[in-house]
Amino acid sequence: MYEKIPTAGMAHEEWLKLRKTGIGGSDAGAICGLNPYSSPMKVFWDKTTDEVEEKDNEAIRIGNDLEQYVAGRFMEATGFKVRRSNYMYRSKKHPYMIADVDRMVVGGDAGLECKTASAYNADKWADGRIPLHYAMQCYHYMAVTGKRTWYIAAVILGHEFVYRKLMWEDALIQQLIKAEGQFWNNHVMANRIPDPDGSEVCDSVLEQYFHTAKKASAVKLVGFDDRLARREEILAQIWELQSEQKQIEQEIKLFMQDSELASNGHYKVSWSNVDTTRLDTKRIKQEQPEIYENYIKVTSSRRFQIKAA
């Protein structure tokens, strides 16, 4: 069973704040470590800070603009009728789980998730596949609404339209409910940051949390000797591999000499001329200091360095 929260006519900022009150479908894959564009730490940041993140980029705008088109293609392909729900759903048994679904299938125990994808990601949909974080999103919606079936439809831009059918899988859904409950209780409610996972997203979140260092402050580095020793081993391996990579590239350059292109049945190589234009800021500062001062922009960030003691 679930609670239905009307969203028709709701201000966008209010809707964004409502999403902070639970784990949504787009969070599920990140919590499970399956979303290449997010992470548990990112979800934690979204749920525990007062900041309301207004996501607006070209990919998101295209997805929003084409949602109705995708739904139309799905109806055309299947003969089903779908409708907007205009509700946010919240599980009564697991109130930390919420669902803001794209469409419900009329007269059927099913819902629909609409996606758009770049042609560069067409292989992720090939042979009946679904990107894993999208699959977890659909299972999350089933867990919240109790629907036994969820469809996901995608227009792969300039390539094709596809749709997939996911059926209720009890063991998987119970594991998802458990994982989301542990995340909500052990991290969000406990205000405990999840462990880093090495992703660029985690770097971004840590920079947001700890943007400015307190001058001259210091802590004793305890418990990291083994991890730092492992880091040194990794750096040595990276250096060796990069040197080998450069050697291979240099051998090919020597073979190509002044040719721009080289190819065979397996590889295409280019060694092209590239013209780069840069402002000579040192000269501007010396010859036109007033102009330089008017146009400089100072940004603040933290530089992370490790040196042997």
Mean pLDDT of 301-306: 80
- pLDDT tens for residues 189-205? 999 999 999 988 899 88
Mean pLDDT of 91-100: 97
CB contact set of 205 (below 8 Å; sequence gap of 6+): 39, 41, 42, 44, 45
* Gap between the Cα atoms of 174 and 75, Å rounded: 30
User: 5 has which bridge partners?
Assistant: 88
Give the distance, in angstroms, between the CA of residue 157 and the centroid of all CA atoms in the same chain: 20
pLDDT at 308: 76
SS (H, E, C) 199-222: CHHHHHHHHHHCCCCCCCCCCCCC
The CA distances from residue 128 to 33, 125, 160, 164, 165, in Å, are 22, 6, 13, 7, 10
Domain locations in the chain? 2-209, 225-295
CATH of 2-209, one of 3.40.470.10, 3.40.50.300, 3.90.320.10, 3.30.930.10: 3.90.320.10
Confidence class for position 75, pLDDT limits 50, 70, 90: very high
Residue 155 has pLDDT above 90, yes or no: yes
CB contact set of 241 (below 8 Å; sequence gap of 6+): none
* Gap between the Cα atoms of 166 and 148, Å rounded: 9
Indicate the average pLDDT of the chain: 93
Residue 276 has pLDDT above 80, yes or no: yes
pLDDT at 56: 66
Q: Are 139 and 31 in contact (CB under 8 A)?
A: no
